[in-house]
Amino acid sequence: MLACPACAQLVHAKRLKALAQQAQAASAAGDSTAALQSWREALELLPEESKQHAQVRATILELSRGIDATSAKSAPSSSARGWWAGIGALLLFIVGKGKLLLLGLTKASTLFSMFLSLGVYWTAFGWKFAAGLVLSLYVHEMGHVAWLRRYGIAASAPMFVPGLGAFVRMGQYPTDAREDARIGLAGPTWGLFAALVFLAAGSFGPFPSGLAIAHVGAWINLFNLLPVWQLDGARGFRALSRPQRWFAAAAIGLAWALNGDGILLLLLGVAVWRACSKDAPAQGDRIAAFQYAALILGLGQLARVH
């Protein structure tokens, strides 16, 4: 119980006070992620029907939207100077996220399950393709982890299921559909970058298996963009208004016209069904809509690589 049924006194009042102080100190220091971590922990200790729960949830949404707004403002312009700034930012991103990728490999559960999956794929396809495929899956899952950490949401390191893929287990949940869409679409976004790296290695480097890995990796990420069940595409679609869902469906149709892959027809059929459903929010997430469309077009082209 989170509150006394007789007097309504909060059971974790002392801990809540300490978490509020930590969050306020983090905000004062400009560390929104640390503040979100403290507020999210506090939210779990408050009854859902209480005023404090509503206030803390509103604070979490404000901080989360502030993080997104900061990212949007830091995006480079389309000028030549902006393009060079974008390249520099991309290099810094790769270096910074490289540390995060290595951090995931320090978890025994991740390494053990990764080697199990490697053995399964190795037996079927050979060690080079197996290693590349496992690495692609790992990068995809670490995309989710990166955004979960960005929003201060507790989550496990990636776990592999031999023959089926990998997953990240969340200890907390996103506060709204916008957060869930960012986290869900981060996996295919990182998966797209991984496929591009393998494409370059196969096309220009001494690693011909890279082309096959890029093709399969792109196909797997496309499948994950199906807007159904708990797949990444469904998490993205929950934040889209009905017109935005039709926009996403049009992007899938264009990708199929350029590519002709059957998986895109399946995606198109499910996307049209979701666009006709009544669960779409009145105010959608424009960033998620464009991100979804860009992923469909980019991964659709990469899926043609053989």
130-168 confidence digits (pLDDT tens)? 999 999 999 999 999 999 999 999 989 899 998 889 999
Q: Which is higher by pLDDT, 217 or 8?
A: 217
Rounded Cα distance between 161 and 117, Å, is: 7
According to the model, what pLDDT value does residue 208 have?
85
Kindly indicate the confidence band of residue 86, based on its pLDDT and cuts at 50, 70 and 90.
very low
Q: What is the pTM of this model?
A: 0.90
Who has greater pLDDT, 40 or 204? 40
What is the per-residue pLDDT for 104?
74
pLDDT at 114 over 80: yes
Among 95-109, 176-190, 237-251, 262-276, the range scoring the smallest mean pLDDT is 95-109
Q: Which two tokens stand for residue 42?
A: 């506090």
Confidence of residue 206 (pLDDT cuts 50, 70, 90): confident
What are the C-alpha distances in Å from 207 to residues 101, 200, 213, 216, 218?
Answer: 22, 9, 10, 15, 17
Of 116, 190, 120, 199, the residue nearest 159 (C-alpha): 116
